[in-house]
């Protein structure tokens, strides 16, 4: 008789990953839960939120009668995620640390810990996403050691695994998984990919998982929490005061503490002004932030977008792009933003 497949689930202490573990248990797999501590932070009451989430994840494992492990990636998170976050902001760009965390922590550090230390046949998370593989196909995947050096980029990946949107289009989290490697993706299960959030909550309520069901859903950047974002960033980056300038007549409208604090298109909170103004351009040399009134102002629109290195989930660009030097694609630069059709 074949031994049950071993699946290691990343437990966050929330309802989604708890139900993911429950569903895998129901499928007859040998399930192990792992909580990752990635950041040391205190809430407004001085309580470490990671410790509280860890306790909730442990309770899930007790209820489901599965083994529990805890690992710390605080050092790795600081080096690979948070340092990159600060560096990008300092350059005037707006990074997404959740995407970088998934790439370097969940689907690299945790993935290798699960496979190499716990002997996992596959890993799983509570993300709302799907892949082109069925469960049994995932278990048939083997880790492929890639050649190093000059010929690495020429290494052929057969039977490429695709990242697919979740059935619940509102909760779909493929945006946050857009940098995950092919190696990790081909050995990952997403038990919630075909479910809606409401149905996931119903499953939790019917299976004694009330302690995670009652928790507020985590929103925003995990290491900022409920704190003021500007105050948080200025603990790590030197303030660089500058001016808000109207794009229409170059009139100075107010001052700010750093041009890098603002994202193109966002509403700029300018003291003393009731009407909303929105960021159009940033001058990193002078420290000025140019703003425009109204969301439909022409200065806020662009018909060209430039990007640097592209991460192809399949590891190779599509044949149409190689052949024609352009292709039609859909893109979004923000979670839950409607997909936009453009030429690449």
Domains in the chain: boundaries: 6-214, 238-300
| pLDDT at residue 43 in the model | 47
Residue whose pair of structure tokens reads 């009668």 in the numeric block: 65
| pLDDT at residue 159 in the model | 77
* Model confidence pTM above 0.75: yes
Residues 6 or more apart whose CB falls under 8 angstroms from that of 90 comprise 237, 260
Q: Which residues are known catalytic residues?
A: 101, 222
How far, CA to CA in Å, does 318 sit from each of 155, 304, 315, 325? 16, 21, 9, 10
Average pLDDT for 9-18: 96
pLDDT digits (tens, 9 = 90+) for 27-61: 999 999 999 998 876 544 455 678 889 999 999 99
| pLDDT at residue 44 in the model | 44
Strands 188-189 and 122-124, by their bridges, are parallel
134: pLDDT strictly greater than 60 = yes
- Class for the domain spanning 6-214: alpha beta
Q: How far is Cα 284 from Cα 122, in angstroms, rounded to an integer? A: 46
> Span 238-300: which CATH code?
2.30.30.280
């Amino acid at each position: 008789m074949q031994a049950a497949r071993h699946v290691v689930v990343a437990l966050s202490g929330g309802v989604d990953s708890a139900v993911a573990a429950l569903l895998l248990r129901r499928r007859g797999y040998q399930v192990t839960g792992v909580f990752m501590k990635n950041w040391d932070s205190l809430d407004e009451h001085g309580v470490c939120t990671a410790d509280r989430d860890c306790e909730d994840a442990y309770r899930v494992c007790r209820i489901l009668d599965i083994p529990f492990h805890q690992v710390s990636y605080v050092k790795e998170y600081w080096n690979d995620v948070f340092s990159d976050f600060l560096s990008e902001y300092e350059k005037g760009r707006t990074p997404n640390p959740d995407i970088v965390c998934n790439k370097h922590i969940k689907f690299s550090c945790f993935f290798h810990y699960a496979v190499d230390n716990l002997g996992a046949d596959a890993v799983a998370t509570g993300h709302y996403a799907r892949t082109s593989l069925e469960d049994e196909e995932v278990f048939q995947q083997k880790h492929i050691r890639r050649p190093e050096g000059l010929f690495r980029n020429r290494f052929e990946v057969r039977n490429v695994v695709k990242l697919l949107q979740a059935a619940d289009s509102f909760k779909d989290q493929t945006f946050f998984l857009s940098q995950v490697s092919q190696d990790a993706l081909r050995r990952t299960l997403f038990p919630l990919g075909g479910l809606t959030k409401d149905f996931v909550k119903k499953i939790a309520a019917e299976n004694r998982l009330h302690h995670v069901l009652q928790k507020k859903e985590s929103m925003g950047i995990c290491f900022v929490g409920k704190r003021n974002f500007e105050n948080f960033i200025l603990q790590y980056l030197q303030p660089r005061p500058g001016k808000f300038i109207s794009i229409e007549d170059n009139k100075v409208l107010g001052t700010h503490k750093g041009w890098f604090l603002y994202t193109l298109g966002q509403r700029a909170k300018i003291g003393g002004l009731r009407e909303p103004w929105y960021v159009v351009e940033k001058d990193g040399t002078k420290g000025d932030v140019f703003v425009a009134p109204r969301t439909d102002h022409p200065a806020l629109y662009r018909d060209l977008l430039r990007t640097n290195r592209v991460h192809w989930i399949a590891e190779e660009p599509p044949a149409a792009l190689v052949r024609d030097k352009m292709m039609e694609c859909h893109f979004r630069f923000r979670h839950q933003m409607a997909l936009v059709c453009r030429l690449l």
